[in-house]
Amino acid sequence: MKSTRALKATGLVLIAVVLGLLTVQGSYALWNKAAIAAAGTIQAADFRISLTDTITSVVTDMTLADGTAATLSLSTTPAGVVIPGQSTYAGVELGNETNAGGLFTVRASTSTPVVDNNAGSPLAPYLTLKVVAANSLPQCSSAALYEDASETAETDIPKQDTGVFCFQVSLADNMPASLSGQSATVAIPITVNQL
């Protein structure tokens, strides 16, 4: 008697296992279909900002091929001379050269200028720098443009458009004659961020 019950129990377990396996295997419907797709190429957008000098019109990428920041030397005048009591002007045009899809506006901002005097020259207290955003490089030589300017500026540049930063460098008329002929390097960092 015990063996009949054991056989019935074993039979029920086997039926349950078979039913369980059938449910795991899925249905017999023909839902599987294959389609061939060609391989595609995905390319990241290029965040490229170009810099163009006022005097030379040479175009440089803001980020070099090795990923480092570019340095653009702006000659304020062909001779690079600032006369005490007067101002000289320079500018840089920034181009938003991105190939990203859709709207892609960037904001370019300048930081406070840093005067690095060569050979210990004490010109820094006698130099005044003003930065202003403009519409074109020829505007940079207009003294009226700098009336309300400060040491920093910013401009928004839409995709495939340009923006301009103009710089006024002035040397105080009370500069000591003993500093004549000295030179100083002025660095104006420019940062660009996507909006």
Distances from the Cα of 53 to the Cαs of 26, 47, 181, in angstroms?
70, 20, 25
Does 55 reside within a domain?
Answer: yes
Q: 3-state DSSP call for residue 135?
A: coil
Burial annotation 42-70 (CB, 10 A radius, 16+ → b, else e)? eeeeebebebbbbeeeeebebeeeeeeee
CATH number at residue 119: 2.60.40
Q: Which two tokens stand for residue 94?
A: 């920034």
Does 171 reside within a domain?
Answer: yes
Say if CB 178 and CB 84 are below 8 A apart.
Answer: no
Return the minimum-mean-pLDDT range out of 48-52, 79-83, 150-154: 79-83
* Residue 22 pLDDT exceeds 70: no
Does 95 reside within a domain?
Answer: yes
Identity of the amino acid at 20: G
H helices, E strands: number in the chain:
1, 10
Does 35 reside within a domain?
Answer: no
Q: Which two tokens stand for residue 128?
A: 């005044």
* Residue 156 pLDDT exceeds 90: yes
Does 43 reside within a domain?
Answer: no
Instruction: Give the rounded percent of residues in the chain with a pLDDT score beyond 90.
Output: 18
Say if CB 88 and CB 157 are below 8 A apart.
Answer: no
Q: What is the pLDDT of residues 125-151, one digit of tens each?
A: 888 889 999 998 889 889 999 999 999
Look up tokens 């309300």; give the residue. Answer: 148
Does 24 reside within a domain?
Answer: no
Range of the domain at 107: 49-194
Number of separate domains in the chain: 1
Say if CB 182 and CB 125 are below 8 A apart.
Answer: no
Nearest alpha-carbon partner for 172 in 78, 86, 50, 104: 86
Between residues 119 and 195, which one has the greater pLDDT? Answer: 195
Task: Write down the pLDDT at residue 4.
Answer: 57
Does 175 reside within a domain?
Answer: yes
Does 4 reside within a domain?
Answer: no
Q: Which two tokens stand for residue 177?
A: 């004659």
